[in-house]
Amino acid sequence: MQTGPATLLSRSIEKIRSEFPGLVEGEVRLDGAAGTLVPSTVIDAVADALRLSMANLHGEFAASQHSTETIIAARRAIADLLGGNPDGVVLGPNMTTLTFHLAATLSADWEPGDEVVVTSLDHDANVRPWVLAAERAGATVRWAEFDPDTGELPTTAFDGLLSDRTRLVAVTAASNAIGTKPDVRAITDRAHAAGALTYVDGVHATSHGPIDVAALGADFYVCSTYKVFGPHAGALIADPARLEQLKPAKLAPSPNDVPDRFERGTPALELLAGVAAAVDWIAGLTDAVGTRRERILAALSATEQHLDTLLHAALDGLSAIPNVRLLGAPRHRTSTISFVVEGHHPSEIAGKLAQQHIAVWAGDNYAYELMRRFGLSDSGGAIRASIVLYNHRGDLDRLLEAVAEIARG
Ligand SMILES: Cc1ncc(COP(=O)(O)O)c(C=O)c1O
């Protein structure tokens, strides 16, 4: 999503890098799509939460009230990050767990003859929970196929898939393998016209640019905070009124309010303290003034510009290396690139890069159906280099030089 003229980051990337203790001198970290490092303020917030006298939620005494405030602050932070109502934020351990939970809840009244639409562009965490739920309900799964030549998931991929039997359309806001950003709004509009709900996987998209759940038309939007400079947690956002209509499986004595009734067991409170700190850190990335939500939009818009510059340098550099083949060439994309080097197994390349202190992933990165469509499942998938905010031109130069040398050899 574009949000008017972009604001610049308030400080240099070098300064931003210095805020990440995990960015070790000499190491090139191009693995951010699998999880970003965290800035010191997040580490401090987690440590401070543990250092304070902690207690379980909803008690009368001060420590418990502080825990309750921690969870409320995390919900507010996620609502500001994604756009939406904190009362519709469900926190959980990660996106996969939340999605299995929602799939079980939403499919409770699916019947044989009902249909669910998933896509071959998606991470398996936004595919398998729906496929398994459909199997249990006797519902039919329909597949929207991306185009392996372009790497795009055109809205026309949904032609003929939607009908008044469609209960849900699950689609990613961005591919964690090849970065494709489908036109989510056009897809959700079509889903809504058919009377279906929409479940949008924002795990990959959220750190790459401004997000507005309402503008995307997502009935449910889910993300992982550990991909957005925060600790290991997951969050889902929906209209609280919609959550009110749902009856998740829960313990008899646990709260029955929304969103609490969707949260299972005792949350990782110290990590939730870190979630709010991560969102505050993002909000402080530019000199923009305004509400935290407005500052976040400015920050992610400035981030998007930085990533775009690096993305194009990386694409140009990789395409110029003989024997390197890029997977897809989507027009709208994040700064995540998958490629193969002809004649070399992806894990061999990742191993050689690791010896040079360059971190990339090799394999399918759980973009399981996508790798199958590319015909790469049996040959080790692809190499994935993902560029996030704290990457700089020097990281790309090291990657390009090393890949060129391996490809020559
Ligand atoms: C696009 C996408 N969706 C879902 C997931 C699963 O997220 P989690 O690890 O929070 O379950 C990932 C993780 O890599 C992802 O990249």
Q: Does ligand 1 have an atom closer than 6 angstroms to the CB of 121?
A: no
Atom 13, ligand 1: which residue's CA is nearest?
Answer: 34
Residue in 122, 153, 175, 366 to alter for ligand 1 test, most ligand atoms within 8 A of Cβ: 366
pLDDT score of 6: 59
355 burial level (CB within 10 Å; 0-12, 13-18, 19+): exposed
pLDDT score of 262: 98
CA 251 – CA 378 distance, rounded (Å): 43
Q: Does ligand 1 have an atom closer than 6 angstroms to the CB of 36?
A: no
Please state, as a whole number, how many other Cβ atoms lie within 10 Å of the Cβ of residue 157: 21
What six digits make up the tokens of 175? 């591919």
Distance 203 CA to ligand 1 centre (A): 6
78, 129 Cβ separation under 8 angstroms? no
Q: Which atom of ligand 1 is nearest to the CA of 94?
A: 10
Q: Does ligand 1 have an atom closer than 6 angstroms to the CB of 125?
A: yes
> In degrees, to the nearest 5, what angle opens at C-alpha 249 toward C-alphas 247 and 250?
105
The identity of residue 217, as a single letter, is: G
Q: Does ligand 1 have an atom closer than 6 angstroms to the CB of 234?
A: yes
Distance 252 CA to ligand 1 centre (A): 30
Distance 108 CA to ligand 1 centre (A): 24
Instruction: Label each residue of 194-219 as H, E or C.
Output: CCCEEEEECCCHHHCCCCCHHHHCCC
CA 334 – CA 405 distance, rounded (Å): 26
Angle between helices 95-106 and 128-137 (to 10 degrees): 20
Distance 287 CA to ligand 1 centre (A): 31
Distance 407 CA to ligand 1 centre (A): 30
CA 97 – CA 74 distance, rounded (Å): 18
CA 259 – CA 271 distance, rounded (Å): 18
Residue in 123, 172, 333 to alter for ligand 1 test, most ligand atoms within 8 A of Cβ: 123
Distance 241 CA to ligand 1 centre (A): 26
pTM: 0.97
Q: Does ligand 1 have an atom closer than 6 angstroms to the CB of 224?
A: yes
Q: Does ligand 1 have an atom closer than 6 angstroms to the CB of 336?
A: no
Residue in 98, 118, 176, 336 to alter for ligand 1 test, most ligand atoms within 8 A of Cβ: 176
CA 181 – CA 288 distance, rounded (Å): 26
Which residues, other chains included, contact 373 with Cβ-Cβ below 8 Å and sequence gap of 6+? 120, 145, 146, 148
Q: Which atom of ligand 1 is nearest to the CA of 99?
A: 11
CA 82 – CA 89 distance, rounded (Å): 10
What six digits make up the tokens of 126? 């936004």
Distance 53 CA to ligand 1 centre (A): 32
407 burial level (CB within 10 Å; 0-12, 13-18, 19+): middle
Q: Which atom of ligand 1 is nearest to the CA of 201?
A: 3
Q: Does ligand 1 have an atom closer than 6 angstroms to the CB of 127?
A: no
Atom 7, ligand 1: which residue's CA is nearest?
Answer: 95
Q: Does ligand 1 have an atom closer than 6 angstroms to the CB of 204?
A: yes
Paired residues of 89 in beta bridges: 237
Q: Which atom of ligand 1 is nearest to the CA of 223?
A: 10
**Three-state secondary structure call for residue 99:** helix
Q: Which atom of ligand 1 is nearest to the CA of 365?
A: 14
What are the per-10-residue average pLDDT scores of the chain (409 residues)? 64 97 96 98 97 90 95 98 98 98 98 98 98 98 98 98 98 98 98 98 98 98 98 98 98 97 96 98 97 98 97 98 98 98 97 98 98 97 98 98 95
CA 292 – CA 86 distance, rounded (Å): 13
